[in-house]
Amino acid sequence: MTILQKTSHRFCLNGRTICTISTVLALVGFQTAYATPGTPTDDEPGPQQHSERLAAPTTETPDAGGPAPSDQENALLKALRGMATEPSDLEGIRVFFAFEDLNNDGVHEAVVHVTSPDYCGTGGCTTMVYQWDSKAAGYAKVNHTPTTRPPIYSSEREGCQWSMLWVQRSGGGRTADLHSPTPLSDVDSCDTPIGPWNEAGSKLLIPAYNSLAEGTAL
| Per-residue model confidence as pLDDT tens digits over 116-129 | 998 998 889 999 99
Instruction: Inform me whether the pLDDT recorded for 208 exceeds 90.
Output: yes
* Residue 175 clears pLDDT 80, i.e. is over it: no
Confidence of residue 218 (pLDDT cuts 50, 70, 90): very high
Question: Is residue 48 domain-shared with residue 73, that is, in the same domain?
Answer: no
Half-sphere exposure (Cβ direction) of 19: Cα atoms closer than 13 Å: 19
Domain span at residue 4? 1-58
pLDDT mean across residues, the chain: 77
Same domain flag for 91 and 31? no
Confidence of residue 167 (pLDDT cuts 50, 70, 90): very high
Mean pLDDT of 183-197: 86
Number of residues assigned to the chain: 218
* Position 188 confidence tier, pLDDT thresholds 50, 70, 90: confident
87 and 43 fall within a common domain? no
Q: Which of the four pLDDT bands, split at 50, 70 and 90, describes residue 211?
A: very high
Measured in whole angstroms, the distance separating CA 174 from the mean position of its chain's CA atoms is: 37
Mean pLDDT of all residues in 19-43: 41
Residues 6+ apart with CB under 8 A from 189: none
| Domain total in the chain | 2
pLDDT at 191: 85
| Same domain assignment for residues 45 and 119 | no
Q: Are residues 17 and 103 in the same domain?
A: no
CA distances, 34 to each of 25, 27, 37, 40, 77 (Å): 16, 11, 9, 12, 65
- Please report, in angstroms and rounded to a whole number, the separation of the first and last CA atoms in the chain: 76
**Considering just the CA atoms, what is the radius of gyration of the chain in Å?**
33
Instruction: Tell me, yes or no, whether 103 and 202 share the same domain.
Output: yes
The angle subtended at Cα 89 by Cα 87 and Cα 90, nearest 5°, is 75
Q: Are residues 96 and 27 in the same domain?
A: no
Convert the pLDDT of each residue in 47-81 to its tens digit: 444 333 334 444 455 566 788 888 999 999 999 99
Look at residue 53 in the predicted model and tell me its pLDDT.
38
Residue whose C-alpha is closest to residue 59's, from 69, 73, 46? 69
| 95, pLDDT greater than 90 | yes
Residues 89 and 183 in one domain: yes
Percent pLDDT > 90 in the chain is 47
Mapped onto helix, strand or coil, the DSSP state of residue 54 is: coil
Least confident of 17-21, 156-160, 177-181: 17-21
Q: Are 45 and 77 in the same domain?
A: no
Interval 5-18: pLDDT, tens: 444 444 444 444 43
34 and 111 part of one domain: no
120 in a structural domain? yes
| CB-based contacts of 8-16 (< 8 A; 24+ apart in sequence) | none
Banded model confidence at residue 158, pLDDT cuts 50, 70, 90: confident
User: Residue 217: how many CB atoms within 10 A of its CB?
Assistant: 12
